[in-house]
Chain A
Amino acid sequence: MNGLGWALADSWTIARRTLTHWRMQPGLVIFQWFFPVLMLLMFGGLLGGAMEPPGSSYYELLVPGIFALAMLFGLEGTMTAVTTDVSKGVTDRFRSLPMSSAAVVLGRCIADMLDSAVTLAVLVGTGLVLGWRWHEGLPSALAAFGLLLLLRFALLWVGIFIGLTVKNAQSVTMVQVLVWPIGFLSSAFVATSTMPAWLGTIAQWNPLSATATASRALFGNPDPSATATWIGTNAAVAALIAPLLLVAIFLPLSAHRFRTLSR
């Protein structure tokens, strides 16, 4: 096998490790997959009545928002896994092996993308049960799922970078807390137009909003956040560019951090 072949084989070995974790701890991973469902039920069931979106169910607005939010929350899993491996010396063992060094990170990447695909599938199933539908045909819906996974892919590199940088579990907890305001300061739950003007503007420029708004358009779900501002009307462009920008920044940073790990 050549270098690239080994890099892929090694990546798959590393990814399989996470899949084995799922098998060894099914309770934990099922809880992880269903946590976004809990959010969906809480916000839709408990707060939905007060939302009264004009002419449709709140779920039509909320479900794509929760999709995007679940992609953001995936960041925590990536970060925790990376930090744990570094602190337990497992990363050092990988680094001392004659394996492809890119595989350590690529394997993580494959495992987390699979994890997010399952999370998304569970959410889609729940959404369909609750009455959410896509209205623009399957290809368009698939494009929306593609945008969501692209966001997850970008956040993955953010997670890897933070995970390689923070070095301890306490810092991970801090980031886990910060994820919430970032998630709420977006169009995931409500129209940004209902927020104070300056907050609404920040929320609109949140990459999470771009992805939520763009996928709502592709699903044919209503989105009161798609206002006449530039970012409101060009959400699809932003939903493509913002994640790519994040990757362009955090992929090289993570690679550099990995090469110079010196705990």
Chain B
Amino acid sequence: MATERVIEAVGVRKHYQGGTEGAGLNGFDLEVTAGTVTGLLGPNGAGKTTAVRILSTLLEMDSGTATIAGYDVRRQGAEVRRRIGLVGQYAAVDEILTGRQNLVMFARLNHLGNAKGRADELLERFGLTEAAGQAVSKYSGGMRRRLDLAASLIVAPRVLFVDEPTTGLDPAARIEVWSAVRQLVAGGTTVLLTTQYLEEADQLADRISMLKAGKVVAEGTPDELKTRLGSDWLDLVLADPAEIPQVVELAAALADGEVRVQDVRVSVPVKDRTKALVQLANSLHEAKIEPEDITLRRPTLDEVFLHLTGAAA
């Protein structure tokens, strides 16, 4: 069961007439294993939302196949809808109703016997019990998002689609939402998350699919993607800018690529992490150069992302 594929998409294509309504898909493939979080990462217009709308049966694809928990999204829409939750880009809750009234309504529409009981459970779980009787129009952005998440979890879906959950939220609200998503995952829900924030994907996702122009251009765990870019980096922060030329010369001897300099920071791509660190530390010591800081780091997802999407441009 651990490797059961709950989302599978092969060669999905969608073309929008006029092209202004959002990016289409151009042979989109995706495989998501049960109980994982997959991040669909890409810039605006890459087709992230389109992919989610197709997988959640809201939009018809032109060609290709996609299944959710083994059910065809095109032919077995009702079965698919019974197993998914959707959190769209906007907090899709009724602003005039209270938080509680919203959840009771959605619970009724999910045909639950004890709609009120379920609503109260979810309010508690998402820390909204105190605000339960207030109109949603009085909620903060983070509270609305949490209510939105709660509404999509009424029936504990197999698969939860979360489309850009933190777009437009302030940092505090963003952290609130992240912790809510982590809770879900701990509960065993499979999550497909779209985001344009690399940090968000890095924080939440087990696997990342990078999307560009309606196609997945890279796929793997955050670590694999970082490794795929190749080298790790040694960052040196120097006390005296005058030392830069000498340090660059020393570093070039063991660098795996071009040494970069930005202000007093010298970044050295290296292959053999520990060996390079020791060698560089030794040669700096011999040259009597005392840097303020030395750090060894993996490439950031930003670097991977720019590398991959830039290269394909």
Chain A positions within 8 Å of B, measured between CB atoms, are: 6, 9-10, 13-14, 16-17, 20-21, 24-25, 88-90, 92-99, 103, 260-263
Contacts and interface: CB of A to CB of B under 8 A. Distances in A.
B97 A89 contact: no
Contacts of B84: 96
Interface in B204-253: none
B118 interface: no
21 contacts: A6-B111, A9-B111, A10-B108, A10-B109, A13-B108, A17-B105, A21-B96, A24-B135, A89-B89, A89-B91, A89-B92, A90-B93, A90-B94, A92-B92, A93-B86, A93-B88, A93-B93, A93-B151, A97-B109, A103-B109, A262-B53
B57 interface: yes
B169 interface: no
B81 A96 contact: yes
Contact of A98 (B88, B105, B110, B152): B110
Mostly helix, strand, loop or mixed at chain B's interface?
A: loop
B86 A92 contact: yes
A25 B135 CA distance: 10
Nearest to B87: A93
Contact of B86 (A9, A10, A20, A96): A96
A24 B97 contact: yes
Contacts of A9: 108, 111
Contacts of A260: 60
A16 B97 CA distance: 11
Nearest to B16: A262
B159 to A, nearest CB: 11
Interface in B193-209: none
Contacts of B53: 262
Contacts of A103: 109
Contact of B109 (A21, A25, A94): A94
Contact of A96 (B58, B93, B98): B58
A96 B97 contact: no
Interface of B: 21, 53, 56-60, 78, 81-82, 84-86, 88-98, 101, 105-106, 108-111, 135, 151-152, 155
A256 B93 CA distance: 24
Contacts of B91: 89
B96 A98 contact: no
Nearest to A28: B96
B96 A25 contact: yes
Nearest to A91: B92
A93 B92 contact: yes
Nearest to A263: B21
B97 A21 contact: yes
B135 A96 contact: no
Contacts of A24: 96-98, 135
B105 A97 contact: no
Contacts of B151: 93
B49 to A, nearest CB: 10
B94 A17 contact: yes
A165 to B, nearest CB: 14
B214 to A, nearest CB: 16
